[in-house]
Chain A
C-alpha cells in the first residue's frame, strides 16, 4: 500500500507543488491535494484559526482540515527561509506548531524545518531528511531530488511562457485537460503583483485574473519573471528586503514600472498580512513617484464581496481605456 501524503492546496503549494509532487511520488508516495478553496474550506479555516491571523493562514487551516481522514501523513514543512538572509514570515515559521495546538486529531506530519537563511548549503541535508520518511536508501532520495528539480524547472518554464500558475499546476496533476491560452482581444496590459497564494487561488482572489482578462486586459504577474530580474531590481532598495515574498513583489514592481508596454499596476494584498502592509506601501509610493502607471491596491479578506472587486477593477480598466491605452 502506498503511503498517502496530503498537501494542502494553499500557501506554498502555489510555489513548490511540482517539486513536492515529483519528489514524493518518486519515493513511492501517493500525493493527495486538498480540493480547491471553497466556502466550506474557508469557513472551517476561519473558525479554527485565531481572528487576528491573515487570510492565507486561515485558508491553510481549512485545507489541512479537508485532508484529515483522507491521508496517512501531512506534508507541512516549516518554511523559515528558502534563501540566504531572507525569511518567509513569522506565521509560516510557527505554522506546524500553530496547527498542532489547534487540531487535536492531526495525523502524522512531515514538518522538516527548512532554514537556509544562514547556510544555503544545508539544502541537501534537508532533502535527505524528508526522504528518510520514505526510504533509507540515499541513492533513491538523490534520484527523487533530481526528478523533482526537473519537474519544477519544466513547470516554471511553462509559466514563463505565459501560462498561469494554477493552470500549470492543475495540468501537471492531471486535474486539467491542458494548458489554457487566453486568446480574447486585449486592449491593455496589466501587471498584477501579489503573493502567488492570493493571486491564483480563484476563490479568495475572486477570480481576479479572469475578470481582468474579460475586461480586455492581458495580465502579467511576478511569476513570469526570472528570479535574476527580481533580485536585481530588489537590490536597488536602500535596505535589503528580508522577506522573500516581499522581495518578489517589490522587485517585480520596480521592473514593471520601467516597462513601456505596461498600462496599469494592481497590487493584491491580503488583510492581516504583515509584510504586505509595508511592502504594499513601497509599491504604491514607487508607482506614484514614477508618475506614469495608474495603480490600484486591493485588499482581500474573508468578507470581501465579488461585486466590490468587480466594480473596482471595472473602474480601473475604464480609466486605463480613458487614458488612451490601446
Chain B
C-alpha cells in the first residue's frame, strides 16, 4: 500500500524512513505551496486552525499521486490537533476519496491500539521496524543539528542565501542516507561548508532572538512565511524553543528517548505567570519567555495559527512576563490571509527596536567602565 503523511518542516525525512521500515511505499506529498493551501482552505472548516487546512491540502495532493493510506498523529486534547484526523477523515469521505486514515494516538493512552495499528500498516518484522525507527531518529537529529548551525550562519553571512543552499543540499543528502555513517558524514560536510561561509556582520551587531509558539508554525517555513530566513537576513540569530527531534520523541516515541532540549526545562519556569497545563505548547511558550530572558536573549517572537487556543492563553500572559523579565516580545498570528511583505515589515521593526535596545545597553555598560 502507498502511505502518505502530512508535512511539517523536515518531518518528511523521519516519516519516509519510518514508512520504509513498514515495508511500504512512501508517497511524500509535494512541498507545501499556494495550491496546497487553497485546496485545504476550500474544503476545511472556515474557522479551523491553519495546520489542519494545510495538512488536508497535503493529503489531497498525495491522493493525486496515488496515496491510499494517511498516517497521522493523534492526541487526547484539549488542543484541536487531537481531533484533526477525525475532521479530515469526514471531509475526505464527503469528497469521495477512498483514503484510509491511520491515526497514531499517544502510546500512554492506548498502547495496545498503537501496536495493532502498526501491525496493520507494517508488513515487516519488529526487528526491521526498530532498525528503521533508529535510522529515522538519526536523520531527525542530523537535520536538527544542521539547522542549528544554519541559524547561526544566516545571521552573519555576507551573501544572503548561502547558508540556506548548504542546508538544502544537506537535507537532500540526509534524506538519501541510510546508514549512521553516511548520515553523520552529511552533517559533518554541511558543518564544514557552513564554517567556511564568508561572514561580515560584527558580532555585537547580531541580535539573539528566541522563536517560540505553536509547534507547526514554528517548524513549517511555508506556514510561518520563511520567518527564520527573514530574521537571519536582518541579522538576528534565531534559537527555537522546540526542534523536530523533541516533537518526534514526545509524540511518536512516547518520550522514551532522552533529548537535549529546552522545552521541558522551560515548562517549569512558567509559574507563577501560568500555573497550569493549557494544551499544545502554551505552557512552554510562557516558560520559554522566562527562560530566554534569563539567558540574556535580546527578544522573543511568539508565532501561532490564528485562533490557536493554547497560544492565546500564552499571548495574554506574555506582556506581564515581558515587563517583569525585561525581554521584548512580539506575537504573530498567521492565517491564510497573512502576506509575507506585511510580516517582513513587522520583523524589521522588531529587529530594529531590539538592536537599538541592545546598542543602548552596550553603551551604558561602556559608559560605566
Contacts and interface: CB of A to CB of B under 8 A. Distances in A.
A242 B76 contact: yes
A89 B85 CA distance: 19
Instruction: Give the interface size class of chain B.
Output: 35 or more
B273 interface: yes
Nearest to B333: A52
Name, among B47, B87, B310, B316, the residue most crowded by chain A CB atoms within 10 Å (CB to CB): B316
Contacts of A78: 276
A98 B80 contact: no
Interface string B67-93: 000000010111110110111011000
B83 A90 contact: no
A65 interface: no
Interface in B29-64: 45-49
A239 B333 CA distance: 29
A113 B89 CA distance: 35
A54 B306 CA distance: 11
Interface string A233-272: 0000111011100000000000000000000000001011
Contacts of A277: 45-49, 80, 307
Nearest to A241: B83
A307 B317 CA distance: 36
A222 interface: no
A97 B273 contact: yes
Nearest to B89: A238
B307 A274 contact: yes
Nearest to A111: B275
B312 A278 contact: no
A76 interface: no
Nearest to B277: A93
Contacts of A39: none
A274 B309 contact: yes
Contact of A274 (B80, B85, B89, B273): B80
Contacts of A281: 45, 48, 87, 90
Nearest to A238: B86
Interface in A69-97: 78, 80, 85-91, 93-94, 96-97
B282 A242 contact: no
Contacts of B89: 238
A102 interface: yes
Contacts of A146: none
A285 B94 contact: yes
B113 to A, nearest CB: 11
Contacts, number: 120
B313 A243 contact: no
Interface in A23-56: 49-50, 52-54
Nearest to A237: B86
Interface string B272-306: 01111111101000000000000000000000001
B319 interface: yes
Contacts of A54: 307
A233 to B, nearest CB: 16
Given A53-B316, A101-B320, A94 B282 contact: yes
Interface in B123-147: none
B157 interface: no
Nearest to A61: B316
Contacts of A243: 77-78
B76 A282 contact: no
A203 to B, nearest CB: 22
Contact of B310 (A90, A102, A239): A90
14 contacts: A50-B312, A50-B315, A52-B315, A86-B77, A88-B78, A89-B78, A90-B79, A90-B312, A94-B314, A274-B80, A274-B307, A277-B49, A277-B307, A285-B94
Given A89-B309, A241-B83, A242-B76, 20 more contacts: A49-B316, A52-B312, A54-B307, A78-B276, A90-B78, A94-B276, A94-B313, A97-B276, A98-B313, A113-B276, A238-B89, A273-B47, A277-B45, A277-B47, A277-B48, A277-B80, A278-B45, A278-B48, A280-B45, A299-B47
Closest 6 CB pairs of A and B: A242-B77, A94-B313, A87-B78, A277-B47, A90-B309, A281-B45
Interface of B: 45-49, 74, 76-80, 82-83, 85-87, 89-90, 94, 103, 273-280, 282, 306-310, 312-317, 319-320, 333
